[in-house]
Amino acid sequence: MRLSNRIEAVFWRWTEKRVPRSRQVTLRHRSIYVIPSKSSLGFTVAIFLLWLLGTNYQNNLILAASFLLMGLFFVSIIHAFRNLSGLTLSVNAPSPGFCCQMVNVPIELSTAENMAAHDLWLGMAPDGLAQADVPQGAAATIALQVLPERRGWLQPGRIIVKSYYPLGLVRVWSWVYLDTNILIYPQPTPPTFVDHLGRGGESEEGARIQADDDFMGFVDYQPGAPLSQVAWKLYARGAGLHLKQYGGAERASFWLDYENLTGGVEQRLSGLCYLALEWHQSGRDFGLKLPGQTISVAAGEAHLHQVLKALALYQPESAK
């Protein structure tokens, strides 16, 4: 490891010790940093020139202007610090997201009853900052975005909170570590099935339909439908792929089977995630079969979340 990387790692460990990871963090003097901004360079040069002119020409008015600007600079440091001091950041329960898709992390900002916070900039990356203001005695919620690169539990990294209030002459900032976990589902991508399943993507035993169900007609083919429901006669006449639709007391049910897909672990999980979303949208009853884990056939939002959570947290035997 290079020396610069070691120094950076030590610095971030030091900042995290000063502001321990928690679901709610209040900024105090230990965690707030203040330095002059780039804009203050020209301001300082102007003060120096005024002082130099006032001294050389013994002009008390020019000297008073230079001292006034100098006092304004020091007063802005105090106001900039007070703008962040006492600011409380808390994380709300974030909704699950998908791998390689932006996920929102809702952050609630609040201050003391007699305080307000102006012109705040927050973000998890220097290029993706969001602006917020917190009124006096009120709270504000801002959604920060993070791009997950893998499925499973995601713990957001450090959050920067900075401001140039009130005059832009001083930069005041802090690093915050919020303790929360976001469930990240696999990235949904169209699956690739094993050869013997053909385009249907399910074995014939993947669906159950009562023998005495009434035939209702034909519907357009949907990926993952069992071969037993395909209207092969229509397909032979060049009418395209259609499915036979039946009506009766028992609905058709399907299985998301890990073994029916090809590719690596992540490719299979992404394909199962894609099918779960498609089948849920079409109102199907389906279950999930993973190596060492089975989820019974059901339907609804809670069932979909259960299936997607199992896909997100699945660990192959070789990784355990």
Per DSSP, the three-state class of 37 is: coil
State the CB neighbour count (10 A cutoff) for residue 303: 19
| pLDDT, tens digit, 9 for 90 and up, residues 98-149 | 999 999 889 999 988 788 899 999 988 656 788 999 988 788 899 888 889 8
Quick one: pLDDT at residue 97?
Answer: 93
Q: What separation, in Å, do the N-terminal and C-terminal C-alpha atoms of the chain show?
A: 29
- Catalogue the long-range contacts made by 238-244 (C-beta closer than 8 Å, 24 or more residues apart): 241/199, 242/218, 243/218, 243/219, 244/215, 244/218
Q: What number is the average pLDDT over the span 32-42?
A: 89
Nearest partner of 120 among 76, 85, 74, 92, judged by Cα: 85
Task: Check whether 191 has a pLDDT greater than 80.
Answer: yes
Give the model's confidence band at 49: pLDDT under 50 very low, under 70 low, under 90 confident, else very high: very high
Q: Does residue 252 surpass a pLDDT of 70?
A: no
Output 202 or 173, whichever has higher pLDDT.
Answer: 173
What is the number of helices (H) and of strands (E) in the chain?
Answer: 6, 17
pLDDT of residue 4: 66
* pLDDT score for 203: 39
Residue 299 amino acid letter: A
- Condensed to tens digits (0 to 9), the pLDDT of residues 209-240 reads 333 455 555 667 666 566 667 777 666 767 67
Question: What is the rounded average pLDDT of the residues 186-202?
Answer: 68
